[in-house]
Structure 1
């Protein structure tokens, strides 16, 4: 995995907000009608609305998160749905802890 891309992904407040929103998709996007946000993912359109940014801006943020491995994107018909990859985020955090010489979890 490209650690520079991962660091870039985590260094952005809008991208961090996306990751927080995707941590509880049912709570934040329960109104999504096209697919179950927990099982299928959250439509990029709804993420753009939640960030109050244009679709192209949201797409750019989401693409960086995808490149970093922190989200997966699934296309269905004309829409794209995003899910957070908690395992990848955990591996990144483990790497940061190891690089900084920290032991144990973040608790």
Structure 2
């Protein structure tokens, strides 16, 4: 795993906000009609709307989070759905904890 990609992913307020929103998709994206936001994930377009950014910008943020293994992206028909990867996040924070010598 390239840890610099993960560090870069965490260096953006928007990307951290995406991770926060995806922690409770049923709360933040309950109006999604195309798929269950918990079971399938959240459409990138709704993420863009929640952050008040353009969809291509949201897609770039999502792509970096995916490469960092902080989210998974699943395509269904013409939409891409994002889910938070808690195992990937846990791995990163365990690594970071060891790197900075936290007990």
With normalisation by structure 1, the TM-score equals 0.95
Return the offset for 1:68. Answer: 0.3
Consecutive unaligned residues of structure 2, counting only runs of 5 or more, are none
1:6 corresponding residue in structure 2: 6
Q: How does 1:85-104 map to 2 (within 5 A)?
A: 85-103=85-103
2:62 corresponding residue in structure 1: 62
Matches of 2:56 and 2:35, distance apart in 1: 22
Any idea what SS the aligned residue of 2:34 has?
coil
Consecutive unaligned residues of structure 1, counting only runs of 5 or more, are none
User: After TM superposition, which residue ranges in structure 1, 4 or more long, deviate above 2 angstroms?
Assistant: none
What is the total number of aligned residue pairs between the two structures? 103
1:47 corresponding residue in structure 2: 47
Return the offset for 1:93. Answer: 0.2
Superposed CA RMSD in Å reads 0.4
1:34 corresponding residue in structure 2: 34
Matches of 1:36 and 1:2, distance apart in 2: 32
Any idea what SS the aligned residue of 1:31 has?
coil
